[in-house]
Amino acid sequence: MGFFSSLFGTKDNSNLTEAIQQGAFLVDVRMPGEFASGSVKGAVNIPLNTVASQLSKFKGKKNIVVFCQSGNRSAQAKGILEQNGVPNVINGGSWSNVNQCVREVN
Protein backbone atom coordinates (compact mmCIF):
# COMPACT_ATOMS: atom_id res chain seq x y z
CA MET A 1 0.00 0.00 0.00
CA GLY A 2 1.41 3.38 -0.98
CA PHE A 3 1.97 6.33 1.32
CA PHE A 4 -0.99 8.34 0.07
CA SER A 5 -3.37 5.40 0.00
CA SER A 6 -2.49 4.59 3.61
CA LEU A 7 -3.19 8.19 4.58
CA PHE A 8 -6.23 8.93 2.50
CA GLY A 9 -7.82 5.55 1.94
CA THR A 10 -7.53 3.41 -1.09
CA LYS A 11 -9.55 2.90 -4.27
CA ASP A 12 -9.68 -0.81 -3.43
CA ASN A 13 -12.56 -0.88 -0.98
CA SER A 14 -12.45 -4.62 -0.28
CA ASN A 15 -11.23 -4.20 3.33
CA LEU A 16 -13.75 -1.42 3.89
CA THR A 17 -16.63 -3.46 2.45
CA GLU A 18 -15.65 -6.49 4.50
CA ALA A 19 -15.53 -4.43 7.70
CA ILE A 20 -18.95 -2.96 6.96
CA GLN A 21 -20.36 -6.44 6.31
CA GLN A 22 -19.05 -7.45 9.74
CA GLY A 23 -20.86 -4.55 11.43
CA ALA A 24 -18.03 -2.04 11.73
CA PHE A 25 -18.37 0.94 14.05
CA LEU A 26 -18.84 3.81 11.55
CA VAL A 27 -17.48 7.15 12.75
CA ASP A 28 -17.90 10.44 10.92
CA VAL A 29 -15.15 12.75 12.23
CA ARG A 30 -16.50 15.90 10.60
CA MET A 31 -17.95 18.79 12.60
CA PRO A 32 -21.58 18.45 13.83
CA GLY A 33 -22.90 20.88 11.22
CA GLU A 34 -21.32 18.86 8.42
CA PHE A 35 -22.67 15.63 9.91
CA ALA A 36 -26.17 17.13 10.15
CA SER A 37 -26.12 17.98 6.45
CA GLY A 38 -25.76 14.29 5.55
CA SER A 39 -23.77 11.24 6.52
CA VAL A 40 -23.75 7.47 6.37
CA LYS A 41 -26.72 5.54 7.76
CA GLY A 42 -25.82 4.16 11.17
CA ALA A 43 -22.76 6.36 11.64
CA VAL A 44 -21.99 8.26 14.81
CA ASN A 45 -20.47 11.73 14.87
CA ILE A 46 -17.27 12.05 16.86
CA PRO A 47 -15.52 15.18 15.54
CA LEU A 48 -11.77 14.92 15.02
CA ASN A 49 -11.04 17.45 17.76
CA THR A 50 -12.81 15.20 20.31
CA VAL A 51 -11.50 11.77 19.25
CA ALA A 52 -8.69 11.72 21.84
CA SER A 53 -11.08 12.63 24.66
CA GLN A 54 -13.63 9.98 23.63
CA LEU A 55 -11.38 6.93 23.33
CA SER A 56 -13.73 4.87 25.51
CA LYS A 57 -16.28 4.88 22.68
CA PHE A 58 -13.78 3.04 20.47
CA LYS A 59 -12.49 0.44 22.93
CA GLY A 60 -13.60 -3.12 22.31
CA LYS A 61 -14.89 -2.53 18.78
CA LYS A 62 -13.95 -5.30 16.33
CA ASN A 63 -13.66 -2.98 13.32
CA ILE A 64 -13.76 0.80 13.17
CA VAL A 65 -14.21 2.87 10.01
CA VAL A 66 -13.44 6.57 10.27
CA PHE A 67 -14.34 8.98 7.50
CA CYS A 68 -14.81 12.68 6.76
CA GLN A 69 -15.20 14.94 3.71
CA SER A 70 -12.00 14.05 1.86
CA GLY A 71 -10.04 11.54 3.95
CA ASN A 72 -7.65 14.01 5.57
CA ARG A 73 -9.32 14.31 8.97
CA SER A 74 -10.10 10.60 9.03
CA ALA A 75 -6.40 9.89 8.43
CA GLN A 76 -5.61 12.04 11.46
CA ALA A 77 -8.30 10.27 13.52
CA LYS A 78 -6.89 6.88 12.51
CA GLY A 79 -3.46 8.00 13.69
CA ILE A 80 -4.80 9.25 17.03
CA LEU A 81 -6.65 6.00 17.64
CA GLU A 82 -3.69 3.80 16.71
CA GLN A 83 -1.34 5.87 18.90
CA ASN A 84 -3.73 5.19 21.78
CA GLY A 85 -3.78 1.43 21.22
CA VAL A 86 -7.06 1.15 19.31
CA PRO A 87 -6.65 -1.63 16.71
CA ASN A 88 -8.49 -2.39 13.48
CA VAL A 89 -9.07 1.18 12.33
CA ILE A 90 -9.78 1.73 8.64
CA ASN A 91 -9.62 5.14 7.01
CA GLY A 92 -12.71 5.00 4.81
CA GLY A 93 -11.79 8.29 3.16
CA SER A 94 -14.76 10.41 2.19
CA TRP A 95 -18.20 9.91 3.64
CA SER A 96 -19.54 9.45 0.11
CA ASN A 97 -17.10 6.56 -0.43
CA VAL A 98 -18.19 4.87 2.80
CA ASN A 99 -21.83 5.57 1.97
CA GLN A 100 -21.43 3.84 -1.39
CA CYS A 101 -19.93 0.77 0.29
CA VAL A 102 -22.74 0.69 2.87
CA ARG A 103 -25.32 0.81 0.07
CA GLU A 104 -23.58 -2.05 -1.75
CA VAL A 105 -23.61 -4.17 1.41
CA ASN A 106 -27.24 -3.44 2.15
- Report yes or no on whether pTM surpasses 0.85: yes
H-state helical runs in the chain = 3-8, 14-21, 32-36, 72-83, 95-105
- So what's the pLDDT on residue 8? 53
Total residues found in the chain within this entry: 106
In the prediction, which pLDDT does 2 show? 45
Say which CATH topology domain 14-105 has: Oxidized Rhodanese; domain 1 (3.40.250)
Kindly report the average pLDDT of the chain as a whole number.
91
How much of the chain exceeds pLDDT 90, in percent? 85
Query: What is the domain partition of the chain in residue ranges?
Result: 14-105
